[in-house]
């Protein structure tokens, strides 16, 4: 019996030595593959129980419990419902941050998946369904997987990893503040100070196995605007007795379209000015006193952003004045350009190409969407990229877009996401040169 026990102990010891002798990156991949189904199950659970911005209580608890089980220092309640986990490696080195956003959208789901969301809530005074219609459920599950992969190899890590699970990327109810901007304000990138940050976003119209990136500007700066037109109310049958703010609003709407088509130098960078709604009046035969236009602005440089803001103010006030009305213009900055540090991107690109294959890593055109990951990138070098989640053989026009009721992700792409964030972290640590890294 003693001989048998000795043999078993020897086998275990030799197996341990063999495992340690394998390259770290091989062990990362093996661990990622071993927990792939677990990542999918986490995603399905989060998908079935979606929560809106600043209300991610269940999701945050799930994340915090998992991080604590891995032996991490965990801080909760960051920017309301955010969770931050700290994994200290066995060797000295930089601090690498990895980020996932947790919130869902006020959309009633229409898919027929077995883990379909049936959650309903009230948002800004209206009853609505709640759905993960942008992939944040996958972002959380993937980063939970990365945490498990790196924690299993923490003794070999040359530095510290900060896992940032962020609330409210999609926004919050009126009057509330949160998201990446508030996390930065509360010091999420400090104590210890982050040297670089990585993040990914699911792409439902990019084939599984594909990674999309762009050096420099990737996604647009986003601003919201409101234009209140004040006229003079009158009976709808006697319009000459008033100053019609609805007609004036329509003229302002047309005028705004000339900013991009006639004023912005599109050879340098694109821009978007969209009117999302015109609000005013409540009866067929009453010309109201006021009408309001609301919309969004997307730009890729501070110069273009300032120019567009100026033209909106100029066009609205002058058109209103010509009609005998007045215009009050308010513009709110939402988030800056999502900007991938060129040096960091160049250094990490071979990592992505090795994992996915060179032919599957593609540089993207500018994206007029917006992402508050940009607030982290304003403070430290960052790399943000897209992870394909469209079933192989499908065409882009055949799949539902993000922020729609039929949004769908092919879960077979999640494994590449876990591997990508794990390898980026380890490679950055290995190439770090004591403070002179990738600036």
pLDDT class for 3, splitting at 50, 70, 90?
A: low
pLDDT exceeds cutoff 60 at 16: no
Instruction: Give 9 or 99, the one with higher predicted confidence.
Output: 99
Quick one: average pLDDT of 235-248? 98
Distance CA 152, CA 71 (A): 10
pTM: 0.91
| Domain membership flag for residue 15 | no
The average pLDDT across 118-137 equals 95
User: What does the pLDDT average to over 43-53?
Assistant: 98
Same-domain status, 52 and 126? yes
The residue range of the domain holding 56 is 23-219+337-431
pLDDT at position 54 is 95
User: Does any domain span residue 18?
Assistant: no
Q: How far apart are CA 144 and CA 64, in angstroms?
A: 10
Residue of 406, 246, 411, 431 whose CA lies nearest to 323: 246
The Cβ-side half-sphere exposure at 356, using a 13 Å CA radius, reads 30
Catalytic residue at 169? yes
What's the confidence (pLDDT) of residue 18? 44
What is the predicted pLDDT for the residue at 310?
A: 98
Q: Quick one: 235 exposed, middle or buried, by C-beta within 10 A (0-12, 13-18, 19+)?
A: exposed
- Taking only the tens place, the pLDDT of each residue in 273-283 is 999 999 999 99
Find the CATH number of the domain harbouring 162. 3.40.630.10
Instruction: Say which residues have a Cβ less than 8 Å from residue 103's Cβ, sequence separation at least 6.
Output: 51, 52, 53, 54, 55, 56, 136, 167, 168, 169, 170
* Angle between helices 245-258 and 302-322 in degrees, nearest 10: 150
Instruction: Tell whether the torsion through CA atoms of 130, 136, 138 and 140 is positive or negative.
Output: negative
Query: 171 with 60, same domain?
Result: yes
For residue 147, give the nearest of 436, 418, 399, 388 by alpha carbon: 418
Residue 5 binned pLDDT confidence (cut-offs 50, 70, 90):
low
Average pLDDT of 182-205?
98
Torsion angle, alpha carbons of 66, 70, 75, 76, to 10? 10
pLDDT of residue 15: 45
Q: What is the mean pLDDT of residues 210-234?
A: 98
Let me know whether 294 and 345 are in one domain: no
Tokens of 103: 């919130």
Structural domains in the chain (count): 2
Where residue 21 falls among pLDDT bands split at 50, 70, 90? low
Cα separation of 62 and 82, whole Å?
A: 12
Residue 10 lies in a domain: no
For residue 16, being part of any structural domain is answered with no
Whether the pLDDT of residue 239 is over 80: the answer is yes
177 and 279 in a single domain? The answer is no
Which letter does DSSP use for residue 366 in this model?
P
- pLDDT above 90 for 163: yes
Tell me: the pLDDT tens digits for 391-416?
999 999 999 999 999 999 999 999 99
4, pLDDT greater than 90: no
pLDDT in tens, 81-124: 999 999 999 999 999 999 999 999 999 999 999 999 999 999 88
Domain boundary among 335, 365, 391: 335
Question: Which of 286, 309, 335 is a domain's end point?
Answer: 335
Could you tell me if 249 and 215 lie in one domain? no
- So what's the pLDDT on residue 439? 33
Residues 327 and 331: their CA atoms lie apart, in Å, by: 13
- Average pLDDT, integer, range 366-379: 97
**What's the CA gap between 94 and 97, in Å, rounded?**
10
Distance, in Å, from the CA atom of 301 to the CA atom of 127, rounded to the nearest integer, reads 38
End residue of a domain, out of 281, 312, 335: 335
Whether 11 maps to a domain, the answer reads no
**Do 229 and 213 fall into the same domain?**
no
The pLDDT value recorded for residue 174 is 78
In terms of Cα–Cα distance, which of 227, 221, 141, 130 is closest to 181? 221
pLDDT, the chain, mean: 94
Q: Are residues 408 and 342 in the same domain?
A: yes
CATH of residue 330: 3.30.70.360
Tell me, what's the pLDDT at 438? Answer: 39
Whether 103 is catalytic: yes
The residue annotated as part of the active site, out of 137, 169, 223, 372, is 169
**Residue 320 counted as domain residue:** yes
The pLDDT assigned to 1 comes to 53
Q: How many residues does the chain have?
A: 439
What is the per-residue pLDDT for 17? 43
Q: Quick one: 196 and 312 in the same domain? A: no
What is the model's pLDDT at position 22?
Answer: 81
For position 98, what pLDDT does the model report? 99
Q: How confident is the model at residue 379 (pLDDT cuts 50, 70, 90)?
A: very high
Q: Are 131 and 407 in contact (CB under 8 A)?
A: yes
Out of 29, 101, 103, 170, the active site residue is 103
Same domain, 157 and 294: no
Residues 86 and 211 in one domain: yes
Q: What is the mean pLDDT of residues 252-264?
A: 97
Q: Are residues 187 and 263 in the same domain?
A: no
pLDDT at position 435:
57
| pLDDT for res 19 | 47
Q: Residue 331 is encoded by which pair of tokens?
A: 């513009």
The token pair that represents 191 in the structure block? 């104590």
Residue 418 lies in a domain: yes
Residues 348 and 261 in one domain: no
Assess whether pLDDT exceeds 80 at residue 421: yes
Each residue's pLDDT tens digit, 281-328: 999 999 999 999 999 999 999 999 999 999 999 999 999 999 999 999
């Amino acid at each position: 019996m003693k001989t048998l026990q000795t043999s078993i102990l020897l086998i275990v010891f030799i197996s341990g030595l063999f495992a340690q002798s394998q390259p770290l990156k091989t062990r990362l991949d093996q661990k990622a593959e071993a927990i792939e189904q677990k990542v999918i199950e986490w995603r399905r659970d989060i998908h079935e129980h979606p929560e809106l911005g600043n209300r991610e209580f269940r999701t945050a608890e799930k994340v915090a419990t998992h991080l604590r089980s891995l032996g991490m220092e965990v801080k909760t309640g960051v920017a309301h419902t955010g969770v931050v986990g700290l994994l200290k490696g066995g060797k000295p080195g930089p601090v690498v941050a990895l980020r996932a956003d947790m919130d869902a959208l006020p959309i009633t789901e229409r898919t027929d998946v077995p883990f379909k969301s049936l959650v309903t809530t009230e948002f800004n005074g209206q009853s609505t369904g709640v759905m993960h219609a942008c992939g944040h459920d996958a972002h959380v599950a993937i980063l939970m997987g990365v945490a498990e992969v790196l924690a299993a190899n923490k003794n070999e890590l040359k530095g510290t990893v900060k896992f940032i699970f962020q609330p409210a990327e999609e926004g919050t109810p009126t009057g509330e503040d949160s998201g990446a901007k508030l996390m930065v304000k509360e010091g999420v990138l400090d104590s210890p100070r982050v040297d670089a940050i990585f993040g990914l976003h699911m792409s439902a119209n990019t084939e599984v196995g594909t990674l999309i990136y762009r050096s420099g500007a990737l996604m647009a700066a986003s601003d919201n605007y409101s234009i209140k037109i004040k006229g003079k109310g009158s009976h709808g049958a006697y319009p000459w007795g008033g100053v019609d703010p609805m007609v004036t609003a329509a003229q302002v709407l047309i005028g705004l379209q000339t900013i991009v088509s006639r004023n912005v130098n599109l050879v340098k960078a694109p821009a978007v000015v969209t009117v999302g709604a015109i609000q005013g009046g409540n009866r067929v035969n009453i010309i109201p006193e006021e009408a309001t236009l609301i919309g969004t602005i997307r730009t890729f440089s501070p110069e273009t952003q300032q120019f567009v803001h100026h033209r909106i103010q100029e066009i609205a006030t002058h058109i209103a004045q010509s009609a005998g009305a007045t215009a009050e213009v308010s513009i709110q900055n939402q988030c800056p350009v999502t900007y991938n540090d060129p040096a960091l991107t160049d250094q990490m690109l071979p990592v992505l190409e090795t994992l996915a294959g060179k032919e599957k890593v593609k540089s993207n055109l500018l994206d007029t969407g917006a992402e508050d990951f940009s607030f982290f990138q304003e403070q430290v070098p960052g790399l943000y990229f897209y992870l394909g989640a469209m079933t192989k053989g499908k065409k882009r026009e055949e799949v539902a877009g993000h922020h729609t009721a039929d949004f769908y992700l092919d879960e077979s792409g999640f494994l590449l996401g876990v591997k990508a964030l794990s390898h980026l972290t380890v490679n950055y640590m290995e190439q770090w040169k004591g403070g002179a890294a990738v600036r």
